[in-house]
Amino acid sequence: MSETKIQINLRAVRTRAGLSLSQAAELTGVSKAMLGQIERGESSPTIATLWKLAKGFHLPLTAFLGVEAGSPMPAAVRFPGSITVHTVFPFDPLFGSETFLVTLEPGQEHVSQAHDAGVVEDVVVTMGAVEMMRDGEWVTCALNDGLRFAADQEHGYRNLSDGPAQFLNVLHYPRLP
């Protein structure tokens, strides 16, 4: 598990898309300086930055984690001061989805900005209990509960208990090839 340094394959993704750093900055809203630092491994992206990149490039999150369908299971990524994201199934274009196991430490809250247009999330609680914010309201998801919601608007996850909580998180990208 990588705790301090998070290296993503931004340069490869950007080059494949034929974009300059300036163009990528324009598309994602992440500064050119920050993009350069991330590419050189000098800065670790936050989960919020990673999602800005995914949205701007119209790509699934796993495109930046260097995992593709059929590749070996990657290590979990622990974003400093934030959630831990373990890739269960990387994005598969056949199904248009990717699946993560997300861990929330006690008391942890994570609010996510809107993902790309049309993205829908499924959350299934596998440990503890999780509160989900969708349509601006927090709702409780007990163990084994599932919740499906439009993720192209602000949404959030929080764990108000004093033990860890975990949930399966499936992201559906109906508009990606």
Cα–Cα dist 93/60, whole Å: 10
Q: Where are the beta strands (DSSP E) in 68-145?
A: 77-78, 84-92, 97-104, 109-112, 120-127, 130-134, 137-141
Q: How far is the CB of 8 from Mn ion (least distance, A)?
A: 17
**Pick 19 or 171: Cβ nearer Mn ion:** 171
Q: Which stretch binds Mn ion (CB under 5 A): 13-21, 34-42, 122-130, 150-158?
A: 150-158
Q: Which of 9, 37, 46, 112 binds Mn ion (CB under 5 A)?
A: 112
Residue 47 structure tokens: 């989960």
Q: Which stretch binds Mn ion (CB under 5 A): 6-14, 80-88, 106-114, 124-132?
A: 106-114
Residues 43-72 that bind Mn ion (CB under 5 A): none
Binding-site residue total for Mn ion (CB under 5 A)?
2
Residue 63 structure tokens: 């495109």
Radius of gyration of the chain from Cα atoms? 16
**Pick 19 or 151: Cβ nearer Mn ion:** 151
Helix, coil or strand: residue 175: coil
Please report, as ranges, the residues that interact with Mn ion according to CB under 5 A: 112, 151
